[in-house]
Amino acid sequence: MTDILSKKLESKIDKKLISKAKRKTLDDGFKKGKVVNEVLDKPTVMTLYKMITDHIIAYVNGAVSAGKESVLFWGVDENDSDVALKIYLVSTSNFKKREPYILGDPRFSNVKKGTKNLVYLWAKKEYRNLTQCFEAGIPVPKPLHVTNNVLAMEFVGENGAPGKSLLDSQVDEDDYKQSIQIILDMYQKAKLVHGDFSEYNIFKTQNGLVVFDLGSAVDLRHPNTQEFLKRDINNITRFFKKRGVSVEDTDKLFEDIVK
């Protein structure tokens, strides 16, 4: 099986990221849980391989952006449609800071100890949040599949380049209204609060705004829901105000959303 996997990866995954996995076996590239570029450890490679054999994706072109907790890869499915593969880093300790967004969410009451388990749960949580939003008609990347630390979803962008965020775009009053509408719809329709809503986590596309990075989103039954909601409103309001856009009173917005 390792022979088949190595050949698959040689032609499908970015050569720079798997230079150590090009041999007939995976031994040298993955000794004792070693990772390649902090992303492609052996379990992650096996997860990608399974996604290929399960026909979820056809191949992976390579990484297109990276953060402290995850790396975004540009994949392609068997219909030549682009797929975003969000691979959560199992080698990072940042996820320990994310426990407050999981503990207290009744959808995830059984949290196993260990960084790997927390990372896998976070991927599952983001997939579920995306699904709830997508089914409620909220503009998010369409969720496609999740296995272990790999989340597959619609690719927002063109030719492997992710779309521009609000931070890197010219914004106007319509963008502000759309942003507030997303917060309201997430709360009233999807029964979620984003928890990390900002200019960094919203794409501006030709068809309107698209919100992403929903791993932090919590169920309305979470004890810190209202605190997170106020923070989301304040953060996005502060951004638009700095850009010279007329904004509404944040306290009034909060009351209108939760009523």
E strand spans, the chain: 59-66, 70-76, 82-88, 143-147, 150-154, 157-158, 161-162, 192-193, 202-205, 208-211, 218-219
pLDDT of the residue at 210? 98
Which segments of the chain have a pLDDT < 50?
1-8, 10-11, 13-35
143: CATH: 3.30.200.20
- d(CA 218, CA 105) in angstroms, rounded, equals 6
- Whether residues 72 and 126 share a domain: the answer is yes
Helix or strand holding residue 44 (H, E): helix 42-53
What are the structure tokens assigned to 226, written together?
């209202």
Cα dihedral 219, 107, 88, 199 in deg (nearest 10): 0
- Which residues are designated catalytic? 196, 213
- Whether residues 210 and 253 share a domain: the answer is yes
Handedness of CA 98, 221, 234, 123 (dihedral sign): positive
pLDDT of the residue at 96? 66
Query: How many independent structural domains does the chain possess?
Result: 2
- Whether residues 250 and 122 share a domain: the answer is no
pLDDT of the residue at 37? 55
- d(CA 123, CA 238) in angstroms, rounded, equals 29
- d(CA 96, CA 187) in angstroms, rounded, equals 26
Residue 86 CA to its chain's centroid (Å): 6
Q: pLDDT tens digit string along 128-157?
A: 999 999 999 999 999 999 999 999 999 999
- Whether residues 34 and 100 share a domain: the answer is yes
- Whether residues 113 and 186 share a domain: the answer is no
Residue 179's domain comprises 166-258
- Whether residues 57 and 170 share a domain: the answer is no
Judge whether 48 lies within some domain.
Answer: yes
Predicted TM-score of the model (pTM): 0.84
